[in-house]
Amino acid sequence: MHPHSVGDSPRAVSTSVGAHVSYEPAGTPAPAKSPENSVIERSGSTSARRNIVRRVGLIGGALTLFVVFAAVSAIALGALKSSTASAKVVQLQPAAKTCHARGTGLYELPDVRCTPGLRNPSVTQKTIHRTICVSGWTSKVRPPASVTNVEKVASMRAYGDTGSKSSYEYDHFVPLELGGAVNAAGNLWPEPDYAKRAGFYLNPKDRLENLLKGRVCSGKITLATAQNLIATNWVSAYRRYVGTPSSSGGSGPTSAGGFYASSYATAHYIYCADDPAWKSLSPKYLVHFATLAQALKRFPGRTLHRPC
């Protein structure tokens, strides 16, 4: 065998361009790195690590933005969470004094943590004409008083309400007539009510709910839009669709010329005198009322065609 076996082959080292080539035995240790070279390598390694950290940070930031965007988009689309809590079973309520309403009086908003508003998964845009738009449907799904009376007391404790039970309506925040969850704690709360009857409806929120239902069933707005208007801020929606809230509660909007409605069986609306749409109604069925309360008493369930 050649004196230089495979394991002992020489290593060629060029000392300079064009200079002769010298040979070193295999296994000879490589020259030690200079301090300057070590510093350069450490600096490069640190820079690489910084680049990696920077890229990871950018990716994390992008993912965070995506999650936030998705959540905001879901809210904008009215994607409320749903609940199938049974109407026949008393549901557990939040602990005492852990919920805090926003605002005061008849125009309060519930605590978003305790009562965010939930929907009934059985009611969708495709099923509205088999559910909420069918007369009497809500009475079929509404929880019995034997269930809600117990829940109402516990819910009042959760909100720290010390008044009489009659001073509050145990309210479906997203109402049954807009596909709200039937008996979920996250969709029921003690809503302040009138001390005495004022007009046909006991609460201004009821007027908004019926108006929005009319718009959903007539195709003017989607079910998701109506649900989101309530859950986001029903007081703002009231200002937009019904009128300016009255500090005294009142019985609803007023109209200098009164209100008009059609007595025809399939009619849906009540019209303010300044709404020209009433003029297209058949004179045969046209009925005039001095106040909205009178119109609602004659035609319960009707909604205003537009704010006065």
pLDDT averaged per 10 residues in sequence order, the chain, 308 residues: 44 43 49 52 58 59 48 52 97 97 89 97 97 94 96 97 90 97 98 64 78 93 96 91 60 64 89 84 88 83 77
Q: What's the pLDDT at 257?
A: 72
Helix or strand holding residue 40 (H, E): helix 35-76
Structure tokens of 290?
A: 């001095």
Q: What's the pLDDT at 76?
A: 45
CA atoms of 295 and 207, how far apart (whole Å): 13
Residue whose entry in the numeric block shows the structure tokens 């709360």: 189
The H-assigned helical ranges of 77-144 are 137-141
CA atoms of 114 and 206, how far apart (whole Å): 21
> Residue 180 carries which DSSP code?
B
* pTM score, whole prediction: 0.59
Structure tokens of 182?
A: 């039937």
CA atoms of 189 and 111, how far apart (whole Å): 9
Residues 6+ apart with CB under 8 A from 137: 131
Q: What residue segments make up the domains of the chain, in order of their start?
A: 44-71, 105-216, 259-304
CA atoms of 273 and 234, how far apart (whole Å): 26
Helix or strand holding residue 293 (H, E): helix 292-298
CA atoms of 39 and 277, how far apart (whole Å): 84
Q: What's the pLDDT at 50?
A: 65
Structure tokens of 229?
A: 């208007």
Q: What's the pLDDT at 231?
A: 97
- Whether the CA torsion 269, 308, 132, 195 is positive or negative: it is negative
Q: What's the pLDDT at 289?
A: 85
Q: What's the pLDDT at 290?
A: 81
